[in-house]
Structures are given as C-alpha cells and as structure tokens.
Amino acid sequence: MLRLINPQQEFLRYRRRMEIAGGIAALLFVGLFIRFLWLQVVQFDHYHALAENNRIALVPAPPSRGVIYDRHNTVLAHNFSASTLEITPSKAGKLEETIDRLSEIVAIAPGDRRRFKKMLAESKNFESIPIRNLLSEEEAARFAVNRFRFPGVEMKARQFRQYPLGEGFAHVVGYIGRIGEKDQVRLEEENLAANYKGTDHIGKLGLEARYETWLHGRTGIEKVETDSGGRAVRTLSRTPPVAGYNIYLHLDAKLQQVAEKLFGDYRGSLVALDPRNGGVLALVSKPGFDPNLFVDGIDVATWRELNDSLDRPLINRALRGVYPPGSTIKPFMGLAGLELGVRKAGDTIADPGYFTLPGSSHRYRDWKKDGHGMVDLKRSIVISCDTYYYGLAQQMGIERMAGFLSHFGFGKKSDIDLDGELSGLMPTPAWKKKRFKQPWWPGETVVAGIGQGYVLTTPMQLAVATMTLANQGVVYKPQLLRAWRDPATNKLSYAAPQIVERMHFNPEHLRLVTEAMVDVTRPGGTASIAGANTPYQFAGKTGTAQVIGIKQGARYIESQVHARHRDHALFISFAPADNPKIVIAVMVENGGHGGSVAAPIARKVTDYWLLGKLPEVYTPSEPEAAEAEEEEDSPDAGLHSPVPVTADALIEGGAQ
Amino acid sequence: MIPQLLRQFFRHLDGPLIGLLALLLLASVSVVFSASGENGDRLYSHLSNIGVALAAMLLVSHIPPQRLMQFALPVYVIGILLLLGVALFGVLVNGSRRWLDLGITRIQPSELMRLALPMMLAWFFHYKQETLRGRDFFFAVLMLLIPVAFIARQPDLGTSLLIAASGFYVLFLAGLSWKVIAGAAIAVGSALPLVWNYLLHDYQRQRVMTLIDPAADPLGAGYHIIQATIAVGSGGVAGKGWMMGTQTHLDFLPERSTDFIFAVFSEEFGLIGNLFLLLLYAAIIWRGLQLAAGAPSLFGRLLSGAIVLTFFTYAFVNMGMVSGILPVVGVPLPLVSYGGTSMLTVLVGFGIVMSSATHKKLVKT
C-alpha cells in the first residue's frame, strides 16, 4: 500500500500536529500556573506558617531552681552547671548507630544507654534526651570538634541539683526527680505544663515538693532560627527565664547534725521547735538516705535495698512514724485533770503498784512493781506514776480526755509545711464504733491515760503539744520556711508565724505542771541523770512506749526481748522553762527507757542550742560555708547563732 | 574583517532564541548561586558547564542536518549495544543498573538515547518519506520500544518514559494515525493496573503513593515533596527575595541545586517569578517550534520538533514534581538545574534545532 505523499499536504499535517502539541503544552503550563496560584496565593498563609514552623523553634530556657538555705545560709540544696550530650531522636537518624559512633568520642556506659532507652520510650519524638551527663572538659572539647558528624546531637549546659549535706537532710529537704507520667498529668491539669517545658526535674519529696512552685521559677522562651538539622542558627528574640525563689529555713543545719549524731546507731526521730514562732529548728529521722541518689533516677538495686530495709530509711519518722506517746502524755493529762476540775493539785492517791477498775480483778500495773506510795499531781509527773493516771483517766472519761488533748494537737496533723504527715490517733468511743464496730471498754480509757492502747502520736505532734505547754496555750503551726527571696525583685519576705489556737489555762495549773516537768530532770525525777547540772531550767518528761503487749503476770525484761520488740524511748522537753527557746520531742525506736536513752539526746541538743556546747560524741564535719550574702539584708541577721555566742547573750537576745 | 568572521562564526545561531536562552541561563546562575549557599566553587563549576555546553551548541549549529543524518543509525546502534552491555555488565548503584564501567570512565548510555532515539526516528521517516507505509510506523514503534524497554528494566522508569515521549513526538509529528494513538492510549490505560501490580518496583509505587499522600511518611519518602511544596507556597506572590529563602538556606530543601531548584526559585521569587519563568519557557518553546516548522528537511522538522517538545516535557515534569502534582522522578529543570550532562544535552539539542533551521534545503537522496 504505497502512499503518494504530497509535500504540501505533508507539511500542512506537520503544522497541524505541531499546533496541537503547542496547544497542549500551553494548556499544561496554564495548569501549572493555576497550581502556583493555589500554592502561593490561596494557600500562602498555610505554607508560610509551615515554613516559619520549620525555621523558628521556640526553645524553652529553663529557670535555675531556687537554693534552699538553713537559718545561717548554709546550703542544703543548690545547683551546679555541667555539660550533657543530648540526642533529638527525630533528627538523629539511626539511634543505635549514632550512639555507637558517639561512644568513640565520649565514654558511654551501658547504664547511660539503658537510661536513654527508658527515657526514649517515655518521651515524645521531638524532645532531646540526654545520653551522657556531666561531660568532662576534654570530652566536651572532643565532641565540639566532631559536632558536624552528629546531626541531632547537641551539647547542652544543664543544671544539676545537689544536696551537699546528704543523708541527714533527706527527710526535710527531700529531692527532685525526673518528671514522670503522673507529674506530667498533674502539671497539665494544673495548667503548669508550659512552664515546665525544658525542665525535666520536679520536686518529689520534702521541701523540694512542697515549695515546688516557688523553687522552680518561670521558664523563659528563646525564639531561634534553626536549620533542618535542628541547630540554632541565630536567636531572634528572647524572654529570659526567672529563677526560682531562694528559700531560707528556720532549720539549723548544725543543730540537725548534732542531733542526728547523738542517735548513734539507734533509729528514731527528733523534732526541735522554736516555741516563740513555731519554727522547726531540727527535724531528724534516722536512718536517712542520700537524696542525691534520686535526682537522676535511682538504680533498681539501690532502691530496693532502701525500700526493703527493715530500718525503713525512706520513712520520715518525724511525720509518718506513729507511736504510743506513753508517759509523755502525763503532763497534758495532769493539766487536763486540773483544768477540768477532776483533780486538785493537792489531791493524793495511794499507789499500791497497780490499778483495778471497780468490779474487776484485772490489774493495770504501774511500771514500779511495789508502787510509789502517796502521790500527788506534781509527784505523779516527776516519778511518772502510772497508777495515778489510770485513775485520773477513768474519772475523766475518754470523751473529755480526747476533747482536751486534741487542743494540743493530739490526733490532728500539725500542718507543717511538708507533705505526707500522718495524724496519729486520739481515740473516742465514736471512732471505735466506726472503726471496729465495737463498744468502748472502760479498760481502754485506763490505758489511754498513760498514753498506751489506741493513742498514737507522731514525734511532730508531741513536739507541737509540748510547744503549746511551753507557750502557755498558744499553738503555733510548725514551719520550716522562714523567709524567701524573689530573685526578680531581690526582695526578702518573711513567713509570718501562724497561730493555730490560743487557749487560756489557769496560770497556777500551768505553773504546777511546768514545775513538775522541771523536777523530772532534777534529782528524784525520771530524767535526773540526763538533766544533771543544767545552768538553765530544763523541763521534760520521759516516756516509754510498748512495742509488744506483755501478758498478765509476765514482766518485761529488756535483755530477753528481741531488739526490735524493745520499748520505744521517748522524751519531751522545753528550756529554759521560764522563757522557753527550744522545744524538743525525741523518740528512739527500741531504745528502751526514755529517761536513759531519749532524755540525754534532748539534753545535749538543748545544751548545744542554748549554750553552744558541742556534745562529745559529735565530731564536727563543717557544713558547707554559706554563700556570701549581703550582710544587712541577710535573713541571718539577728538570728540565733549557737556556736560563737555566749549562753547569757543567747538567752537575752536572739528573739525575733 | 573580524566582524565578518564573527558573523560567519555565529551565522547558524538564531538571535531571538539565543536571547531567550541567555535570559534563562542568567536566571539559572542566580538561583544556583543562592541554592548552593553562596558557594563559589559550585558557581564556577556551573558557569564552566554552561560555557562548555554553549560551545558545543555553537559547534553543533555548524553541522548540517545531512551530516547529522549520517550519524543517526550508527549512534542508535551503538546506543542499543551499550544498553545491552549495561543489562549484562552494568554497575549496580542504589539497586539499579544504569552505569557502564568502561575502565577509564563510567557512562550512562540512557543519556545518549535521549538524542539518539529521536534522531534515529527522524532519520527513518525522512528516509522513508517518499515510500511511507502503515507498517513503517510499526517498525518505528519497535525502534522506540527497544531502548525504552532496556531503560525501564534498569530500572529507570522516569528516564524511559521521557525517552519514550521524545520518540513519540517524532511519530506524532510524522503523522501517526489518531486511531493508533487512541488505541495505544486505551491499551496503556487498561494495562496500568497490571503494570502497577507486576512491573513496578516497590520504590516506584511508593513514589506515586507519596504523591497522593505525602504526609503518610513525612520524614521519609514524603519529605522532599512536603518541603518543596512548603518552599513554593511560602514564596507567596512576591517571593522572599533572592538569597532570602528560609527553606533553602536553612537546609530544609533537599537536592536544591539540582532536581529541586525550582523550589528555590519559587521560594525566592514567588508567583511573579514563576510567571516570568513559565513565559520564558513558553517563549523558548514557541521560538523553537517556529524554527522547527521552518526547517527545510523533514528530518530537521521532525527532530527539531521532538527536541523542543521534549524540552517542554522536562520543564513541565520538573515543575509539576516540585509543586507536588507529579511523582518524584529524577528530572532536572532544563537549563536551570545545576548539572553538566543535562546542560550539555539540552543546549546541543537547541544547536541541532538552529542548525536544521538555518542550513539550506538538502538535495533529496
């Protein structure tokens, strides 16, 4: 099929085809132009925003956390700065490989990898996660040189929290730890999450938790231009962070250390309060633990060891240890008897060594087998006569007893500025009915009279009750916080003492009880050895709390009892009795007798506080020197300082 | 004397086309400079690429079409042999066999085919012009499909389709029957599901899927498209200004001086710049087609027409890809992207166009 080709025809067909092709091309270009119109005009805002998002990163600038000082500006918690290496997973490519390559430059321990993996699993993709903390200068320099090889890996200067005094202060200062899921949920609920961008630690315990909002500060924001590797190219604008408040405590670090040392190997707790304002001078819970372990995640083995230890170092005994108050309840019972008119000062009883309820043969024994003979109220406190209080309690009745004692804070939280406090127990028939669905038995009132049975207190409650006695009825809320400084204004503000209740007692009754307590530490009293030769009036009361019940007719013989079943030794005190400056409650777990174990601790702590006298067992380890503070504005100014000042000057001055 | 020599030297060049090409190359130099982050070496190398390609264009414009025709068959045959060599002994790079190692240097025979195939087909129709029969189209299609199949097997689907297009333009301009075109279109359309399921490699399917939903894999396959679209869109009407593109200068755009250079241009010069670029391309194509239509020989008309239409195709596919309406295929923006081979091929093509238009009508053989 040969075709005749007319060149003219052929050329026309070529032209037509070319026009068609050209037309199609033109149409396609128009299509492109429409696409450009769509992207660059209609969708411009959208893409503009995306480009800005690409380009501009809002980098949170975490504030530096407030420092915690004791009353003499001794640092209890502070920060130091160190370099970390952090990886942004979304920008780092293959993580394993990146880490392997990094490990050629800086040491990366298997633990670092484990922690990284754990945090990676918990994190969001765009956050940077530390792979190595505390880089040495050499390592930092080596990474800086090799930085270009590691997109998505950055060296950051981070602040680390440190507790220079360690173990003895863990229960007061607490610690910060990584923000966990629960913390995150709480922060989001409280609308604080934004302020925690860039911060990865939060107060978990103690003051660190209680004053978290103050200590944390306000996060700043830096607007930076970043390249696709996430590296900041330049800073566009910056809202600087505002550091957290520095807080200053009533606590005296040295006093606390003195008290702690005095416990020796015993477990227990000591609370020292300033009766003039409720300031907490010392809050010891032995054993303690090193809070520094918790800051960057404690390892499982160490945690288990702490948590499973029979010594329970993680429990703050001052607030969460509940013990029967034993005989330390007697001064309050005595005052109750007088105030409620159940007893008069001169009323005496004959103590045969036991007490029986009418119509019962059950003997409630006195600690002294043969009894104390004739006992009046004052003597009942001095010699700690049980029989006197068995009878008194029975006459008073549990309702009236609970009603009176609860004004001293028994069975109520002290509301100290720490979390997790337990309220102890001041039992009533109503409580028992609710709790056990059982009626109240008269015998239960009898044993409550000597602080046994259902009655439970924390060392903090005992201290608050004793402070109330020392203050003639004024109940202060115990406070650790004395002052705080807002770094933005550099203004120092003081925490005002808070009066919870002001009771009015007959001064005669108060004087009688106080005199009895002073006599406790004098010859003939249960703490006469501990109280020997005090140059001040030392009012105290011993107590011994049973850990296990002793059968009828059996006797408690200390040497035959398992060490952990021995009685708890208790002692409460205030001094000087005529112008109290320090109130102490001591509890020594399984310490045996209050007079022989607990009272000497209180005596020596009081000696130190009032006289500046260091006990012999105390080998001084100087707390870290306070940071230089401007003199006149320092919260230290005019404060009681036990060591260099003479006793007389102390007793006269120092009031605030 | 000297002006006359110069005139002699440039006499096969077309003034308007050279002017338009120069404008485009000027734009190219400025964008490449911006895209390479003010990198002087890159600029220098780009300028020397342009110089070499312009010299080659000038040289080619002096080669009369009848001389060129003599090369058509041997070059095509050598090309086919090289493609066969690639299939048998090719170097495997990134999972595909595109390169042939000649010992001294590596070559990519598919590049050669970009010109060899339309040349071969144009020569074939020119040769048959007096005796053209229906079955000659069948042979022509065969000549087209052999290299295309080789290249598609490498696999390099993008290049094979573009080469197929350049061959198709020759057939189309030579008068391929509309019935055949319609039939082929239907056949291709109905074969698409089969191709999708059996012939396409995973990465090719992924590219198409990515086009439909780039957000499915924002840091992987979708990253190029997303970042390029952001660059284009954020350019707005007036653009961010030369050297001011944030997507470009902060390293968000990949391949920004080569295949994605249009994103840089769009970001920095905006819709106005894009319109200017489209018009410039349209003008070049217009002038090219005019020259092609004016070529005295059928060979010249067919080859020039195919070259110009291929030029259009590259420009369209590249801009379509960067603005997110076509899948990502490795196609540079002709005469703008950095890269010596592409620059050379395109300018040599225009050299042929100008040569075909300016040499006197041949004596029929």
By C-alpha distance, which of A346, A449, A342 is closest to A395? Answer: A342
Q: What is the pLDDT of residue A5?
A: 57
Q: Which residues of A are catalytic?
A: 327
pLDDT exceeds 60 at position A96? yes
For chain B, percent of residues with pLDDT exceeding 90: 55
β-strands A568-575, A539-545: how paired?
Answer: antiparallel
- Nearest residue of B to residue A30 by CA position? B278
User: Among residues 2-31 of chain B, which lie with CB inside 8 Å of chain A?
Assistant: none
Structure pTM? Answer: 0.66
Q: How far is A331 from A457, CA to CA, in rounded Å?
A: 15
Per-residue pLDDT of B221-278, as tens digits, reads: 678 888 899 999 999 999 999 988 888 888 888 888 888 999 999 999 999 999 999 9
Q: How far is A401 from A378, CA to CA, in rounded Å?
A: 19
CA angle A298, A304, A309 (to 5 degrees): 125
**Chain A CB contacts of B323 below 8 Å:** 32, 35-36, 39
DSSP readout, B310-337? Answer: HHHHHHHHHHHHHTTSS-------TTTS
Domain boundaries in chain A? Answer: 326-409+423-457
At A55, the pLDDT band (50, 70, 90 cuts) reads confident
CB atoms within 10 A of CB A30: 12
At A641, the pLDDT band (50, 70, 90 cuts) reads very low
Per-residue pLDDT of A67-93, as tens digits, reads: 999 999 999 999 988 888 888 887 777
Residue B270: exposure state from Cβ atoms within 10 A (0-12, 13-18, ≥19): buried
Give me the helices (H) in B90-201, please.
109-127, 134-153, 157-174, 178-194
pLDDT exceeds 60 at position A652? no
Side chain identity, residue A253: A
Residue with tokens 């005992």: A462
Average pLDDT over residues A530-543: 92
Task: Report DSSP state, residue A412.
Answer: S
Number of domains making up chain B: 1
Q: In terms of residue numbers, what domain contains B303?
A: 14-358
Per-residue pLDDT of B147-203, as tens digits, reads: 999 998 887 878 888 999 999 999 999 988 898 889 989 988 888 888 787 777 777
Greatest distance between any 2 Cα atoms in chain A? 151
Q: How far is A513 from A507, CA to CA, in rounded Å?
A: 10
| A233 at interface of B, judged by CB pairs closer than 8 A | yes
At A123, the pLDDT band (50, 70, 90 cuts) reads low
A136-150, A193-207, A516-530, A626-640: segment of lowest average pLDDT: A626-640
Average pLDDT over residues B199-220: 69
Q: How far is A419 from A302, CA to CA, in rounded Å?
A: 24
Q: Show the tokens assigned to B345.
A: 């091929």
Q: How far is B107 from B41, CA to CA, in rounded Å?
A: 24
CB atoms within 10 A of CB A552: 8
pLDDT exceeds 50 at position A188? yes
Superfamily of structural domain A326-409+423-457: DD-peptidase/beta-lactamase superfamily (3.40.710.10)
B282 with A227: Cβ contact below 8 A: no
Q: Show the tokens assigned to A558.
A: 């200390």
At A631, the pLDDT band (50, 70, 90 cuts) reads very low
Are A228 and B250 in contact by the 8 Å Cβ rule? The answer is yes
Q: Show the tokens assigned to B196.
A: 């999708």
DSSP readout, A33-52? Answer: HHHHHIIIIITHHHHHHHHH
Per-residue pLDDT of A311-361, as tens digits, reads: 888 899 999 989 999 999 999 999 999 999 999 988 999 888 899 888 888
At A617, the pLDDT band (50, 70, 90 cuts) reads low
Q: How far is A515 from A522, CA to CA, in rounded Å?
A: 11
At A625, the pLDDT band (50, 70, 90 cuts) reads very low
Please, which residues bridge with residue A425 across strands?
A: A456
Per-residue pLDDT of B5-21, as tens digits, reads: 888 888 889 999 999 99
Measured distance between the N- and C-terminal CA atoms of chain A, rounded to whole angstroms:
123
pLDDT exceeds 50 at position A645? no
Residue B4 lies in a domain: no
CB atoms within 10 A of CB A435: 11
pLDDT exceeds 50 at position A643? no
B89-103, B188-202, B207-221: segment of lowest average pLDDT: B207-221
Classified as helix, coil or strand, B259 is: coil
Residue B3 lies in a domain: no
| B169 at interface of A, judged by CB pairs closer than 8 A | yes
Per-residue pLDDT of A29-38, as tens digits, reads: 999 999 999 9
Residue A94: exposure state from Cβ atoms within 10 A (0-12, 13-18, ≥19): exposed
Task: Report DSSP state, residue B199.
Answer: I
- Nearest residue of B to residue A6 by CA position? B130
CA angle A401, A325, A362 (to 5 degrees): 70
B250 with A48: Cβ contact below 8 A: no
Are A401 and A335 in contact by the 8 Å Cβ rule? The answer is no
Q: How far is A102 from A98, CA to CA, in rounded Å?
A: 6
Residue B7 lies in a domain: no
A18 with B169: Cβ contact below 8 A: no
User: What is the phi/psi pair of residue A375, to 5°?
Assistant: -135, 125
Tell me: ipTM over 0.85. yes
From A41's Cα to the closest Cα of chain B, the distance in A is 6
Classified as helix, coil or strand, B240 is: coil
Q: How far is CA A526 from CA A459, A546, B356, in A?
A: 20, 17, 126
Residue B2 lies in a domain: no
By C-alpha distance, which of A280, A271, A290 is closest to A252? Answer: A280
Count of CB contacts below 8 A, A vs B?
131
pLDDT exceeds 80 at position B36? yes
B133 with A15: Cβ contact below 8 A: no
**Chain A CB contacts of B274 below 8 Å:** 33, 36, 40
List the single residue in A5, A48, A55 with the smallest CB-CB distance to B130. A5
By C-alpha distance, which of A503, A501, A538 is closest to A517? Answer: A538
Residue A243: exposure state from Cβ atoms within 10 A (0-12, 13-18, ≥19): buried
Q: How far is A14 from B126, CA to CA, in rounded Å?
A: 13
Q: Which of residues A593 and B144 earns the better pLDDT score?
A: B144
Q: Helix B134-153 crosses helix B157-174 at what angle (to 10 degrees)?
A: 170
Are A495 and A479 in contact by the 8 Å Cβ rule? The answer is yes
β-strands A246-249, A68-69: how paired?
Answer: parallel
CA angle A593, A594, A595 (to 5 degrees): 90
Task: Report DSSP state, residue B121.
Answer: H
| A3 at interface of B, judged by CB pairs closer than 8 A | yes
**Chain B CB contacts of A3 below 8 Å:** 132-133
For chain A, percent of residues with pLDDT exceeding 70: 89
From B236's Cα to the closest Cα of chain A, the distance in A is 4
At B219, the pLDDT band (50, 70, 90 cuts) reads low
Residue B6 lies in a domain: no
